[in-house]
Amino acid sequence: MMRKSEYALWTLLVLAVLAAGSTMVSLARSQTASPANSEIYRQLDLFGEVLERVRADYVEKPDDAKLIESAINGMLMALDPHSAYLNPKHFRDMQVQTRGEFGGLGIEVTMENGVVKVVAPIEDTPAAKAGIQSGDLITQLDKEQILGLTLQEAVEKMRGPVNSAITLTVVRKGVEDPFDVKVVRDVIHINPVKYNAEDDVAYIRVTTFNEQTTANLQKAIEDLKKQIGPKLKGYIIDLRNNPGGLLDQAISVSDTFLDEGAIVLTKGRNLEETQRSNARPGDLTDGQKIIVLINGGSASASEIVAGALQDHHRATILGTRSFGKGSVQTIIPLGSNGALRLTTARYYTPSGRSIQAKGIEPEVVVEEELPDDLKAKADQQSTRGEANLRGHLKGEEDDEGGKHEEESGSSAYVAPEKDKDTQLQYALGLLRGNKSVNTDSKKKAEAN
């Protein structure tokens, strides 16, 4: 422990250094600051003044850390719907999730107009079993309003101990009144690839893009080759209601089906940030026919795969228009303070197409047939895409300098029974030669 005299001396020295540093910063500002930087300093001074007023005069003593975190979140939410601050706990949760196992309800969500919007429930999770659907708006958690919470705060409230219950108040398009859904939390084990043989067709469903996706996909292909044998007529890769995930997994999944050529191009604000990912030799499916299924719940990494295979004419894309999320988020660690999830680039398909707020348009448009009890409420299952999210990145001009037409999202309904799954049955028919490809992608394909 320091003696008092030494402590006093060190205190004077520290104060002197701080004063000198403050003077140097002030001189640097006055001598080198550009007009733009001067404006930033002025705004930071304003922020500091407001912060001090709140700390000094608010009716109750505020939590300083919470004030700063909320200010950071507010700044990032003003950029686009996908940028966010991850505090240390949220950062750890995100790392666990990308490994394929995490605790919670099992839904991919975003924030829209102050409430939580379900992008897609994850298959075989508590949320999916409870009937939560793509496009649902969650307005209350255990009867407490979500309005005013950030997305991360809302997600935090939805997580909790395994076997504990939470009541979600849901607003669903086509349903007149909000209704409550009770969901029991569980450990979410994400098996990103499910597969089976449909007689002479290999059916593979990819539910998310985590660290296990490519390895599990390649195992599925090898297993189905052995199981079906020489009568194999092709592959159906089902990306419907797949909300996306890791960029490197989207690239390696695409590479599984390609021998050469670009897979995806990413472009940041500066030219030196442009990157191109290319396929390596080796198509694991040996050139067999491929049909990729997409719908309004297919987003991000799913769209990268669909776009790459579409541009290389390696697969026929079937279903309805995808979500339209054409941006890349980078996780920037902040040491012990968590991480920043920041939109750092747009991505483009191999032909140079941006699908931001536009989506992937299938070659064969097949609307999923709704059951009789939902036909009178046909809009109930529609999913609003990226173009409808507040603050989304605007699409770029086309090659002729014309306006980028924004139109993304579509129905996200998928029939639970395979024999009633219109899109799947049409894909099976195409591979078996019982259906034909509709060359007019704007025209709905016949379902019969």
Tens digit of each residue's pLDDT (9 = 90 or more) over 261-297: 999 999 999 877 789 999 999 999 999 999 999 999 9
Q: Mean pLDDT over residues 105-112, rounded?
A: 87
C-alpha 55/C-alpha 20 separation (Å) is: 27
Predicted pLDDT at 72: 94
Q: Give domain status of residue 235, yes or no.
A: yes
Tokens for 269? 């604000």
Measure the CA–CA gap between 244 and 267, rounded to whole angstroms.
19
**Number of domains the chain contains:** 2
Would the pLDDT of 380 be above 80? Answer: no
Q: Are residues 160 and 202 in the same domain?
A: no
421 and 291, same structural domain? Answer: yes
Q: 388 pLDDT exceeds 90?
A: no
Residue 60 forms part of a structural domain: no
CB environment 85-109: b (16+ within 10 A), e (fewer): bbbeebbebbeebbebebbbbbbbb
Residues 212 and 114 grouped into a single domain: no
Nearest to 215 by CA among 188, 187, 246, 240: 246
Among 25-29, 118-122, 175-179, 352-356, which stretch is predicted with the lowest mean pLDDT? Answer: 25-29
- Domain ends where: 189, 213, 245? 189
Convert the pLDDT of each residue in 293-348 to its tens digit. Answer: 999 999 999 999 999 999 999 999 999 999 999 999 999 999 999 999 999 999 99
Residues 311, 327, 408, 421: which is the catalytic one?
Answer: 311
Say whether both 309 and 167 belong to one domain.
no
* 230 is a domain residue: yes
Is residue 250 domain-shared with residue 352, that is, in the same domain? yes
CATH number for the domain spanning 360: value is 3.90.226.10
pLDDT at 448 over 50: no
**Domain end call among 138, 172, 189:** 189
Query: Do 309 and 381 have their domain in common?
Result: yes
Average pLDDT estimate for 158-164: 86
Arithmetic mean of pLDDT over the chain? 85
**276 shares a domain with 143:** no
pLDDT at 11: 42
Are residues 160 and 221 both part of a single domain? no
264 and 400 belong to one structural domain: yes
In a domain, 61, yes or no: no
Q: Cα–Cα distances in Å, from 306 out to 178, 239, 244, 319, 337?
A: 35, 8, 12, 11, 36
Task: Identify whether the C-beta of residue 195 lies closer than 8 Å to the C-beta of residue 220.
Answer: yes
Q: Is residue 27 part of a domain?
A: no
pLDDT at position 272: 78
Q: Which residue has the higher pLDDT, 10 or 62?
A: 62
Tell me the mean pLDDT in the region 177-198: 91
276 and 168, same structural domain? no
Tell me if residue 70 is catalytic: no
**Residue 309 to residue 236: CA distance in whole angstroms:** 13
64-77 vs 35-57: helix crossing angle, rounded to 10: 140
| pLDDT score, position 132 | 95
Same domain for 178 and 285, yes or no, is no
- What pLDDT shows up at residue 131? 94
Q: Following DSSP, what letter does each residue of 239-294 receive, concatenated?
A: -TT---B-HHHHHHHHHHT-SSSEEEEEE-SSGGG-EEEEPPS--TTTT--EEEEE
Does 312 map to a domain? yes
Name the catalytic one among 325, 354, 408, 421. Answer: 325
Residue 25 vs residue 142, higher pLDDT: 142
The four Cα atoms 273, 112, 357, 77 give a dihedral, to 10 degrees, of: -20
Domain extent for 277: 193-432
Alpha-carbon torsion (427, 430, 431, 432), positive or negative: positive
297 and 256 assigned to the same domain = yes
Position 307 in a domain = yes
How much is the pLDDT for 22? 42
- Domain containing residue 98: CATH number: 2.30.42.10
Residue 16 forms part of a structural domain: no
Q: Which of 189, 219, 235 is the last residue of a domain?
A: 189
Does residue 20 surpass a pLDDT of 80? no
Q: State the DSSP H helix or E strand holding residue 141, giving kind and residue range, or none if neither.
A: strand 137-141
Any catalytic annotation for residue 180? no
Q: What is the pLDDT of residue 389?
A: 83
State the pLDDT confidence band at 401, using cuts at 50, 70 and 90.
low
Q: Is the pLDDT of residue 399 over 60?
A: no
Residue 30: predicted pLDDT: 47
Query: Which member of 254, 300, 322, 410 is catalytic?
Result: 300
Going by pLDDT thresholds of 50, 70 and 90, the confidence category of residue 226 is very high
Q: Confirm whether 34 is a catalytic residue.
A: no
More confident residue, 191 or 433: 433
* Rounded Cα distance, 264 and 275, in Å: 8
